[in-house]
């Protein structure tokens, strides 16, 4: 192809040159051909890109199509039930609820219900009255002196740095109006989080916002922020769903001077939080750290977040809790299907336990140790609808955190560019020009309505199941397709045995 390009290109150049010099036509074409030949010559001599070396000009189309492939997939190929991590139907539902418009769908389900993996709610023919009051849960165990009444649905951990300052401000203002909390993520508590909404301050392995000059935990700096009135709870991050055992990643393109100053790191460098904490290294140290943070925060709810991996390690934590008689006020269980702005594919696809078995395991383990009544379970991992909330509660959660659903409410289009600093909607970028497209006053309203309408949908499903309170919910209100696929056995074969031919 390279040889053909130069043969045809030089031939066209000679013909055009003749036309220009003898008939004074084709100047523009001559300039274009000259540029293309020079680009082709440069590409054929470079050794870095095989495609451009073999296809000196047409090879650029490969990179163009690769660049717009997500948009082609999303807008021209995928069906309403397709799309990962969230289908078009799921995204549309989030957009409609955030805009506070009709979120009903016409003409019946688009899903194939006649399959063994189908899941549904066993509705009651005598449904309960829908509760218009949005549910809340009191967080605070026996050692907590400042318990907090939290919403059933809250904003999951997303750092300033991963998200833009406009996105963070819109989330917090929405949380203020809706009276639910906003988890800071491990990037630290910043001025953009402090718009009046309730805060859960997450302490990650980098100790951003409460670290000393060597990057270790600083109790004095922690106490200074932990005792702010808007900080309602503190969460120790052990691991997260999309990359458990890896540590946080902030790409260099998103590490601006402003963010570097907040985090106490060098700007324009990729920031890799350590995989583990330096303040403790085992279950005993974790429980002691919980007690330390509770003391420094004057009795505010303290908990930890993790993605379940080696189950025996969680059991050791439970044993140590009982030995020290020191109880975390909450445990946040993150499923392996949880999201993040940047994660190695091997970690996102192949490390950690999904949310459903993790929730069941954590709940049953706390019950087995006799400490379930002292600890609230919060869950996160693709919580986006009223149905997913009800299911999480049925599996053992007391409350739910949602990240990507609230991102949709901000305008996220699932462009899958969170790690490139090129988010087209201004949600997950530090590009000032792109950020301006996200208007805080407008998006904060959408955050508020997404929360309100999603919880209202959960209340409607609760009533449809004949339940009056989320405390009445258990897994028995759900059914799976494999429970009834054998009922028919291809149209009741047992009955067919009695059929005789005439």
- Give the separation between CA 295 and CA 281, rounded to whole angstroms: 20
273 located within any domain: yes
Domain co-membership, 36 together with 129: no
CA 186 to chain centre: 14
95 located within any domain: no
* Residue 146 tokens, joined: 């400042």
Domain co-membership, 153 together with 288: yes
116 located within any domain: no
CA 69 to chain centre: 22
Residue with tokens 């209202």: 456
- State the angle between helix axes of 2-23 and 27-45 in degrees (0 to 180), rounded to the nearest 10: 150
236 located within any domain: yes
Q: Give percent of the chain with pLDDT exceeding 70.
A: 94
Mean pLDDT, the chain, integer: 87
* Residue 87 tokens, joined: 């289908």
344-403 pLDDT, tens digit each? 778 877 788 999 999 999 999 999 999 999 999 999 989 999 999 999 999 999 999 999
Domain co-membership, 302 together with 371: yes
CB 388 within 8 A of CB 342: no
**CATH code (residue 220):** 3.20.20.70
| 200 DSSP β-pair partners | 183, 233
Residue with tokens 């090129």: 422
Q: Is pLDDT larger for residue 124 or for residue 251?
A: 124
State yes or no: pLDDT of 499 exceeds 50: no
pLDDT band for position 484 (cuts 50, 70, 90): low
- Give the separation between CA 237 and CA 380, rounded to whole angstroms: 13
- Give the separation between CA 335 and CA 354, rounded to whole angstroms: 4
Range of the domain at 35: 2-77
The pTM of this model reads: 0.84
Which one, of 382, 362, 351, 404, lies nearest residue 242 by Cα? 351
CA distances from 320 to 118, 284, 324, 345, 360 (A): 40, 6, 6, 34, 21
State yes or no: pLDDT of 79 exceeds 80: no
Domain final residue pick, 13, 45, 77 = 77
**pLDDT the model gives residue 486:** 53
pLDDT band for position 163 (cuts 50, 70, 90): very high
124-153 pLDDT, tens digit each? 999 999 999 999 999 999 999 999 999 999
| 199 DSSP β-pair partners | 182, 231
Helix and strand element counts for the chain (H, E):
18, 14
Domain co-membership, 133 together with 204: yes
CA distances from 381 to 139, 279, 338, 362, 460 (A): 20, 27, 4, 15, 22
CB 332 within 8 A of CB 236: no
Residue with tokens 């400490």: 371
Domain co-membership, 268 together with 149: yes
Domain co-membership, 55 together with 142: no
- Give the separation between CA 141 and CA 393, rounded to whole angstroms: 19
Domain co-membership, 8 together with 147: no
141 located within any domain: yes
- Give the separation between CA 7 and CA 103, rounded to whole angstroms: 59
Average pLDDT over residues 291-304: 97
148 located within any domain: yes
Domain co-membership, 395 together with 305: yes
Domain co-membership, 61 together with 189: no
Q: Running DSSP on this structure, what letter comes out for residue 162?
A: T
> Going by DSSP bridges, is the β-strand pair 302-306/231-237 parallel, antiparallel, or unpaired?
parallel
**pLDDT the model gives residue 493:** 53
Domain co-membership, 241 together with 143: yes
Residue with tokens 């509705």: 123
Domain final residue pick, 44, 77, 110 = 77
85 located within any domain: no
Which one, of 485, 292, 457, lies nearest residue 391 by Cα? 457
R_g of the chain, CA atoms, integer Å: 28
Domain co-membership, 133 together with 73: no
- Give the separation between CA 194 and CA 172, rounded to whole angstroms: 7
97 located within any domain: no
Domain final residue pick, 48, 77, 106 = 77
Average pLDDT over residues 462-477: 93
> Going by DSSP bridges, is the β-strand pair 136-139/119-121 parallel, antiparallel, or unpaired?
unpaired
- Give the helix/strand (H/E) hosting 45: helix 27-45
- Give the separation between CA 199 and CA 407, rounded to whole angstroms: 17
How many other C-beta atoms can be found within 10 angstroms of the C-beta atom of residue 473?
22
What's the domain count of the chain?
A: 2
| 250 DSSP β-pair partners | 271
Domain co-membership, 57 together with 190: no
Q: Is pLDDT larger for residue 431 or for residue 241?
A: 431
Question: Which phi and psi (to 5°) does residue 333 adopt?
Answer: -100, 120
State yes or no: pLDDT of 492 exceeds 60: no
189-237 pLDDT, tens digit each? 999 999 999 999 999 998 998 988 888 999 999 999 999 999 999 999 9
What residues contact 309, with CB distance under 8 A and at least 6 apart?
239, 244, 245, 351, 352, 353
Alpha helices in 46-138, H assignment, sequence order: 50-54, 59-72, 88-99
């Amino acid at each position: 192809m390279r040889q053909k390009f130069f043969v045809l290109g030089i031939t066209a150049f000679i013909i055009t040159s003749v036309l220009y010099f003898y008939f004074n036509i084709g100047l523009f074409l001559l300039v274009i051909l000259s540029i293309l030949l020079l680009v082709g010559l440069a590409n054929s001599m470079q050794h870095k890109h095989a495609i451009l070396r073999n296809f000196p000009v047409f090879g650029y189309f490969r990179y163009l199509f690769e660049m717009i492939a997500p948009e082609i997939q999303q807008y021209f190929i995928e069906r309403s039930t397709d799309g990962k991590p969230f289908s078009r139907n799921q995204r549309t539902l989030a957009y409609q609820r955030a805009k506070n418009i009709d979120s009903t769908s016409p003409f019946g389900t688009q899903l194939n219900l006649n399959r063994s993996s189908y899941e549904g709610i066993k509705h009651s023919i005598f449904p309960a009255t829908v509760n218009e009051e949005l549910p809340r849960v009191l967080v605070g165990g026996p050692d907590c002196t400042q318990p907090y009444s939290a919403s059933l649905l809250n904003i999951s951990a997303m750092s300033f740095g991963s998200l833009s300052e406009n996105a963070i401000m819109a989330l917090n203002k929405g949380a203020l109006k809706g009276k639910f909390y906003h988890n800071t993520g491990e990037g630290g508590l910043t001025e953009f989080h402090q718009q009046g909404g309730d805060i859960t301050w997450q302490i990650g392995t980098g100790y951003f916002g409460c670290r000393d000059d060597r990057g270790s935990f600083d109790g004095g700096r922690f106490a200074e922020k932990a005792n702010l009135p808007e900080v309602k709870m503190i969460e120790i991050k052990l691991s997260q769903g999309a990359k458990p055992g890896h540590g946080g990643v902030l790409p260099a393109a998103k590490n601006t001077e402003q963010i570097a100053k907040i985090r106490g790191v060098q700007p324009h460098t990729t920031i890799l939080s350590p995989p583990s904490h330096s303040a403790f290294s085992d279950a005993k140290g974790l429980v002691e750290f919980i007690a330390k943070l509770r003391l420094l925060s004057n009795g505010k709810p303290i908990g930890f977040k993790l993605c379940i991996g080696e189950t025996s390690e969680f059991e050791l934590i439970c044993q140590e809790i009982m030995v020290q008689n020191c109880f975390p006020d909450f445990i946040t269980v993150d499923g392996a299907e949880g999201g993040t702005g940047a994660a190695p594919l091997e970690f996102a696809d192949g490390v950690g336990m999904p949310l459903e078995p993790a929730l069941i395991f954590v709940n049953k383990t706390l019950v087995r140790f006799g400490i379930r009544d002292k600890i609230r379970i919060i869950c996160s991992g693709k919580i986006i609808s009223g149905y997913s909330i009800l299911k999480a509660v049925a599996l053992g959660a007391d409350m739910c955190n949602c990240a990507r659903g609230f991102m949709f409410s901000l305008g996220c289009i699932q462009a899958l560019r969170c790690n490139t600093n090129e988010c087209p909607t201004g949600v997950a970028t530090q590009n000032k020009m792109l950020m301006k497209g996200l208007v805080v006053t407008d998006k904060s309203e959408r955050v508020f309505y997404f929360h309100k309408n999603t919880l209202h949908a959960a209340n409607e499903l609760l009533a449809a199941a004949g339940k009056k309170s989320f405390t009445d919910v258990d897994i028995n209100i759900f059914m799976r397709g494999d429970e009834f696929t054998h009922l028919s056995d291809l149209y009741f074969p047992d009955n067919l045995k009695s059929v005789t031919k005439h």
